[in-house]
Amino acid sequence: MAINHLFDLKGKVALVTGASRGLGKAMALALAEAGADLALNARTADSLKQVSEEVQRLGRKVALVPGDVSDETQVAEFVKAAHQQFGKIDILINNAGVWEGTYFLRISKADWDKVMQVNLTGAFLVAKAVARVMLKQHSGKIINISSVLGMRGALQAVAYCVAKAGIIQMTRVMAMELGSAGIQVNCLAPGLIATDMTREYTEDKEAMKGYLSKVPLRRFGQPEELAGAVVFLASKASDLMTGSVLVIDGGESLV
């Protein structure tokens, strides 16, 4: 098999949550460049217009399927809409997430609940709804987006760390339960990536000085640097891979 064919996503349909900006947008565009048609999810349709236009300029079909990932009824509705639009869902990028950073003793229950509901429960609800579609197809690729903070602790990140650790364990259980149906479930764990969510930290020169001094590559990442990894996990190239965590972090998790 030609190596380029292994990464070709022509004829595939991908649903990407949290697709309006940051990592979600970058991963959606990477899949489109590889040939996939896209169903794009975020809370509102308006927030998806720019990325939708970019996908269309790449020659791919696109559907906007807005909805709140933490609301089970809305999840069922937007997954159904994506399925009806394209007749199948081959790839799920389970990416939607929020950040509420503060110390363990200071975080409110409301902020804890918000992070859990979006980052963990939301991922569970979307994966469950899409897996039911994929079971009928006897095939599919589910890519859950975790973080290196799901693998180690970090100050002022208790809810985020716990939720992202849960994503990793959920990925492993899903892989065990869905593998016999031809569904691969893997996890992408980025390190610090420059996005709107991390801007306050990445633009703090003193904080970056301390952080980068410990990272082997001495830099944080850009959203586009996840493109190769997400296309790999979505493509034939990763057909023998399931239940794995692919770390893209400049070596951050080594120290």
Distances (CA, A) of 184 to 50, 140, 146, 230: 30, 6, 16, 13
> Active-site positions?
160
Contact call for residues 9 and 33 (beta carbons, < 8 A): no
Measured in Å, how far apart are the chain's first and last C-alpha atoms? 39
Instruction: Report the candidate in 200, 202, 225, 212 with the shortest Cα–Cα distance to residue 252.
Output: 212
Element (DSSP H or E) covering residue 128: helix 122-137
| CA 212 to the chain's CA centroid | 24
Distances (CA, A) of 31 to 5, 58, 63: 14, 10, 14
